[in-house]
Structure 1
Amino acid sequence: MKNQNFTDLEVYKECRQLRIEIAVLTKNDFPLDEKYKLTDQIIRSSRSITANIAEGYGRYYFKENIRFCRTSRASLLETLEHLITAFDENYISKNQLIELKSKIDTCGRLINGYINFLKKQQKPKDED
């Protein structure tokens, strides 16, 4: 069955849950003096994950969609780096980091799978 919207994609749904969890985490566990520093960076990078999936979905060519998915994957890893920093600064626990890294790994596998799917759908002239 063909997806009618990016919100139907499993990769989007999983990344959205990660984004929501990070938003809650930053509201509750980060100090106020990080509001315009680390908190802002981690929120922006986590939002970029889903935003790039959505923007890529709206592109006409598979190659363009793949490019946005790669940007999404880069934002996912940026988010992980921010979480590692939060752990290093004692804003989150080791267990929180492990749990979030597991979710990030799942999102990464889904993004890679979606990229591979898109590559297979390309016409030869639209190859990456």
Structure 2
Amino acid sequence: MNGYQDLAIWQRSMGLAEATYRVTRSFPKEEQFGLTSQARRAATSIPANIAEGYGRGTRPAYVSFVRIAQGSLKELETHLILARRLGFCSEDAVAPLLVEADELGRMIRTLIAKLSPKP
């Protein structure tokens, strides 16, 4: 392994961030500094926190940053659902992102469980 870029969880979260950027391109211009920006920041925060935690070099720090990534994932899901409800994008555009977010959430929970000390 060459580092965090080899991790499936990081690769999948980068893919979700890319997809988020593509979907938010169609949002109204007046949302550029609103929901568009919020969704993009949440999406990029997921792989960024996984990478940062990995780079810290300690298990407790890694777990902490992966938990932050988990929170960012839930934030992104909320932004995408709101965008769909407001009619900024279609169900067809958002559904695959939410499916991927759900799978990524499972991967994050599994990673946290593996990294956390056993009672």
TM-score interval, smaller chain: over 0.9
Aligned to 1:64: 61
Q: CA deviation at 1:66?
A: 0.2
Give the match for residue 100 of structure 1: 97
Shift of 1:57: 0.2
RMSD over aligned Cα, in angstroms?
1.5
Whole-Å Cα distance in 1 between the matches of residues 106 and 81 of structure 2? 20
Matched, 1:38 2:10: no
Say whether 1:7 aligns with 2:39: no
Q: CA offset at residue 115 of structure 1?
A: 1.4
Q: Encode CA deviations 1:8-62: one digit per residue, 9 max, x unaligned.
A: 00100111100000011112x1111100111010000001001100000011210
Task: Compare 108-117 and 78-87 and name the one that shifted more.
Answer: 108-117
Q: Deviation at 1:93?
A: 1.2
Q: How many residues align?
A: 119
State the shift of 1:98 in Å: 2.1
Give me the TM-score of the superposition, normalised by structure 2: 0.93
User: Is 1:111 matched with 2:108?
Assistant: yes
Shift of 1:99: 1.7
Judge conservation of contact 2:53–2:66 (CA < 8 Å) in 1: yes
User: What one-letter code is carried by the residue in structure 2 that aligns with 1:23?
Assistant: Y
- The Cα offsets for residues 55-102 of structure 1, whole Å up to 9 and x where unpaired, read as 000112101100000000000000000001101110111222322110
Aligned partners of 2:73, 2:30: CA distance in 1, in Å?
Answer: 24
Unaligned runs of 5+ in 2: none
Runs of 4+ in 1 over 6 A off after TM superposition: none
Q: Secondary structure at the match of 2:43?
A: helix
1:19 to 14, 17, 20: 17
Distance in 1, matches of 2:6 and 2:68, equals 20
